[in-house]
Amino acid sequence: MCKVFGFYCTFAIDNRLKDKKEKAAGMTDDITQLVILFQEGSRPAYTKLVKAFRRKVYALAYKMLLSHIDADEVAQETFVRVYNRIGQLKSPQHFSSFVYRIASNYSIDLLRKRRGRMVAMPNESELPGAVQMALASKVADPAKELENKELLSTIIKATEELPPRQRMTLVLHDIEGLSKEEVARIMSCPEATVRSNLHIARSKLKAKLGKLLSR
Protein backbone atom coordinates (compact mmCIF):
# COMPACT_ATOMS: atom_id res chain seq x y z
CA MET A 1 0.00 0.00 0.00
CA CYS A 2 1.42 3.40 -0.83
CA LYS A 3 0.18 6.95 -0.49
CA VAL A 4 -0.08 9.03 -3.64
CA PHE A 5 -0.83 12.70 -3.00
CA GLY A 6 -3.38 12.01 -0.25
CA PHE A 7 -4.94 8.98 -1.96
CA TYR A 8 -4.11 5.33 -1.29
CA CYS A 9 -3.70 2.89 -4.15
CA THR A 10 -2.79 -0.79 -4.19
CA PHE A 11 -1.49 -0.99 -7.76
CA ALA A 12 1.58 1.25 -7.42
CA ILE A 13 5.07 -0.22 -7.53
CA ASP A 14 6.94 -0.02 -4.22
CA ASN A 15 10.13 1.81 -5.15
CA ARG A 16 11.20 2.12 -1.55
CA LEU A 17 11.88 -1.43 -0.47
CA LYS A 18 13.50 -1.87 2.92
CA ASP A 19 16.84 -2.99 1.54
CA LYS A 20 17.00 -0.47 -1.29
CA LYS A 21 19.51 1.81 0.40
CA GLU A 22 21.76 -1.09 1.34
CA LYS A 23 21.84 -2.40 -2.21
CA ALA A 24 22.36 1.08 -3.63
CA ALA A 25 25.29 1.69 -1.30
CA GLY A 26 26.92 -1.54 -2.41
CA MET A 27 26.45 -0.70 -6.10
CA THR A 28 27.71 2.89 -5.90
CA ASP A 29 31.38 2.01 -5.61
CA ASP A 30 31.17 -0.47 -8.50
CA ILE A 31 29.40 2.08 -10.72
CA THR A 32 31.96 4.77 -9.86
CA GLN A 33 34.81 2.46 -10.87
CA LEU A 34 33.07 1.64 -14.14
CA VAL A 35 32.57 5.34 -14.85
CA ILE A 36 36.24 6.06 -14.25
CA LEU A 37 37.19 3.25 -16.64
CA PHE A 38 34.67 4.53 -19.19
CA GLN A 39 36.14 8.03 -18.97
CA GLU A 40 39.54 6.48 -19.64
CA GLY A 41 38.20 4.95 -22.85
CA SER A 42 37.00 1.49 -21.82
CA ARG A 43 34.20 0.26 -24.10
CA PRO A 44 33.45 -2.80 -21.90
CA ALA A 45 32.89 -0.43 -18.95
CA TYR A 46 30.46 1.61 -21.07
CA THR A 47 28.57 -1.55 -22.04
CA LYS A 48 28.24 -2.55 -18.39
CA LEU A 49 26.96 0.94 -17.47
CA VAL A 50 24.34 0.77 -20.22
CA LYS A 51 23.23 -2.62 -18.91
CA ALA A 52 23.04 -1.26 -15.35
CA PHE A 53 20.99 1.84 -16.20
CA ARG A 54 18.98 1.07 -19.33
CA ARG A 55 16.00 -0.44 -17.53
CA LYS A 56 15.87 2.48 -15.09
CA VAL A 57 15.98 5.02 -17.91
CA TYR A 58 13.28 3.16 -19.82
CA ALA A 59 11.05 3.01 -16.72
CA LEU A 60 11.47 6.75 -16.07
CA ALA A 61 10.66 7.61 -19.68
CA TYR A 62 7.63 5.32 -19.70
CA LYS A 63 6.19 6.97 -16.60
CA MET A 64 6.53 10.32 -18.35
CA LEU A 65 5.44 9.36 -21.86
CA LEU A 66 3.21 6.25 -21.42
CA SER A 67 4.51 4.87 -24.70
CA HIS A 68 6.79 1.87 -25.20
CA ILE A 69 8.04 3.27 -28.50
CA ASP A 70 8.87 6.69 -27.05
CA ALA A 71 10.40 5.20 -23.89
CA ASP A 72 12.62 2.95 -26.00
CA GLU A 73 13.68 5.95 -28.09
CA VAL A 74 14.58 7.85 -24.91
CA ALA A 75 16.64 4.92 -23.62
CA GLN A 76 18.57 4.56 -26.88
CA GLU A 77 19.19 8.27 -27.37
CA THR A 78 20.16 8.76 -23.72
CA PHE A 79 23.08 6.37 -23.95
CA VAL A 80 24.22 7.76 -27.28
CA ARG A 81 24.37 11.16 -25.60
CA VAL A 82 26.03 9.71 -22.49
CA TYR A 83 28.77 8.28 -24.73
CA ASN A 84 29.24 11.57 -26.56
CA ARG A 85 29.08 13.79 -23.47
CA ILE A 86 30.95 11.76 -20.84
CA GLY A 87 33.70 14.38 -20.95
CA GLN A 88 31.25 16.85 -19.39
CA LEU A 89 30.90 14.72 -16.24
CA LYS A 90 33.23 16.16 -13.62
CA SER A 91 32.37 13.80 -10.76
CA PRO A 92 32.04 10.04 -11.42
CA GLN A 93 29.96 9.79 -8.23
CA HIS A 94 27.23 11.81 -9.94
CA PHE A 95 26.95 9.55 -12.99
CA SER A 96 23.39 8.48 -12.18
CA SER A 97 22.26 12.12 -12.01
CA PHE A 98 24.10 12.74 -15.28
CA VAL A 99 22.19 9.90 -16.96
CA TYR A 100 18.83 10.91 -15.47
CA ARG A 101 19.35 14.53 -16.54
CA ILE A 102 19.88 13.51 -20.16
CA ALA A 103 16.91 11.13 -20.06
CA SER A 104 14.68 13.70 -18.33
CA ASN A 105 15.48 16.47 -20.80
CA TYR A 106 14.87 14.22 -23.79
CA SER A 107 11.60 12.95 -22.30
CA ILE A 108 10.44 16.51 -21.68
CA ASP A 109 11.32 17.45 -25.29
CA LEU A 110 9.28 14.52 -26.61
CA LEU A 111 6.38 15.34 -24.31
CA ARG A 112 6.30 18.95 -25.51
CA LYS A 113 6.35 17.84 -29.14
CA ARG A 114 3.50 15.45 -28.42
CA ARG A 115 1.26 18.07 -26.80
CA GLY A 116 -1.92 18.61 -28.74
CA ARG A 117 -2.18 15.13 -30.19
CA MET A 118 -4.09 12.30 -28.53
CA VAL A 119 -2.17 9.46 -26.90
CA ALA A 120 -4.05 6.23 -26.25
CA MET A 121 -4.27 5.04 -22.67
CA PRO A 122 -2.37 1.76 -22.23
CA ASN A 123 -4.31 -1.41 -21.52
CA GLU A 124 -3.21 -3.43 -18.51
CA SER A 125 -1.69 -6.07 -20.82
CA GLU A 126 0.48 -3.37 -22.40
CA LEU A 127 1.91 -2.13 -19.11
CA PRO A 128 5.51 -3.00 -18.12
CA GLY A 129 5.85 -6.42 -16.49
CA ALA A 130 6.72 -4.94 -13.09
CA VAL A 131 3.43 -3.02 -13.03
CA GLN A 132 1.43 -6.10 -14.01
CA MET A 133 3.16 -8.10 -11.26
CA ALA A 134 2.31 -5.43 -8.71
CA LEU A 135 -1.30 -5.51 -9.79
CA ALA A 136 -1.51 -9.28 -9.64
CA SER A 137 0.21 -9.62 -6.26
CA LYS A 138 -1.82 -6.95 -4.48
CA VAL A 139 -5.34 -7.58 -5.82
CA ALA A 140 -7.53 -9.39 -3.29
CA ASP A 141 -10.66 -9.91 -5.38
CA PRO A 142 -12.21 -9.05 -8.79
CA ALA A 143 -13.96 -5.99 -7.40
CA LYS A 144 -10.66 -4.65 -6.04
CA GLU A 145 -8.96 -5.40 -9.37
CA LEU A 146 -11.54 -3.30 -11.21
CA GLU A 147 -11.12 -0.51 -8.66
CA ASN A 148 -7.34 -0.56 -9.16
CA LYS A 149 -7.65 -0.35 -12.95
CA GLU A 150 -10.01 2.60 -12.70
CA LEU A 151 -7.78 4.41 -10.21
CA LEU A 152 -4.71 3.76 -12.37
CA SER A 153 -6.49 5.25 -15.37
CA THR A 154 -7.62 8.25 -13.32
CA ILE A 155 -4.15 9.04 -11.98
CA ILE A 156 -2.50 8.69 -15.39
CA LYS A 157 -5.07 11.01 -16.93
CA ALA A 158 -4.48 13.54 -14.16
CA THR A 159 -0.68 13.53 -14.45
CA GLU A 160 -0.85 13.92 -18.23
CA GLU A 161 -2.30 17.40 -17.75
CA LEU A 162 0.67 18.66 -15.70
CA PRO A 163 3.31 20.84 -17.41
CA PRO A 164 6.35 18.72 -18.41
CA ARG A 165 8.80 19.97 -15.78
CA GLN A 166 6.24 19.68 -12.96
CA ARG A 167 5.38 16.19 -14.12
CA MET A 168 9.04 15.14 -14.28
CA THR A 169 9.68 16.57 -10.81
CA LEU A 170 6.72 14.58 -9.50
CA VAL A 171 7.87 11.37 -11.19
CA LEU A 172 11.46 11.68 -9.98
CA HIS A 173 10.60 12.56 -6.38
CA ASP A 174 7.28 10.88 -5.58
CA ILE A 175 7.50 7.82 -7.82
CA GLU A 176 11.22 7.18 -8.28
CA GLY A 177 11.87 8.13 -4.66
CA LEU A 178 14.78 10.50 -5.31
CA SER A 179 15.64 13.22 -2.82
CA LYS A 180 15.00 16.89 -3.56
CA GLU A 181 18.76 17.39 -3.80
CA GLU A 182 19.03 14.65 -6.43
CA VAL A 183 16.05 16.01 -8.36
CA ALA A 184 17.56 19.50 -8.32
CA ARG A 185 20.83 18.12 -9.72
CA ILE A 186 19.00 16.21 -12.45
CA MET A 187 16.72 19.13 -13.36
CA SER A 188 19.58 21.65 -13.15
CA CYS A 189 17.67 23.95 -10.82
CA PRO A 190 17.73 25.08 -7.15
CA GLU A 191 16.10 22.88 -4.53
CA ALA A 192 13.67 25.73 -3.91
CA THR A 193 12.42 25.30 -7.48
CA VAL A 194 11.99 21.57 -6.91
CA ARG A 195 9.95 22.23 -3.77
CA SER A 196 7.84 24.78 -5.60
CA ASN A 197 7.19 22.52 -8.62
CA LEU A 198 6.42 19.62 -6.31
CA HIS A 199 3.96 21.64 -4.25
CA ILE A 200 2.18 23.01 -7.32
CA ALA A 201 2.06 19.62 -9.06
CA ARG A 202 0.73 17.85 -5.97
CA SER A 203 -1.91 20.53 -5.44
CA LYS A 204 -3.07 20.31 -9.06
CA LEU A 205 -3.10 16.55 -9.00
CA LYS A 206 -4.93 16.36 -5.70
CA ALA A 207 -7.59 18.77 -6.95
CA LYS A 208 -7.93 16.87 -10.20
CA LEU A 209 -8.12 13.49 -8.52
CA GLY A 210 -10.58 14.78 -5.98
CA LYS A 211 -12.97 15.83 -8.75
CA LEU A 212 -12.57 12.62 -10.74
CA LEU A 213 -12.83 10.25 -7.79
CA SER A 214 -15.89 12.00 -6.36
CA ARG A 215 -17.93 11.43 -9.51
All structural domains of the chain: 24-120 (1.10.1740.10), 140-215 (1.10.10.10)
pLDDT at 119 over 80: no
> Would you put residue 127 in left (φ > 0), alpha (ψ -120 to 50) or beta?
beta
The pLDDT of 6-20, averaged and rounded, is 42
Residue 80 has a pLDDT of 96
The pLDDT of 159-182, averaged and rounded, is 90
What letters, b where the CB count within 10 A reaches 16 and e where it falls short, cover 82-110?
beeebeebeebebbbbbbbbbbbbbbbeb
Which residues is 9 bridged to in the sheet?
2
The helix or strand, by DSSP H or E, that contains position 9, with its residue range, turns out to be: strand 7-9
pLDDT at 122 over 70: no
Tell me if 40 sits within 8 A of 97, measured CB to CB: no
More confident residue, 150 or 207: 207
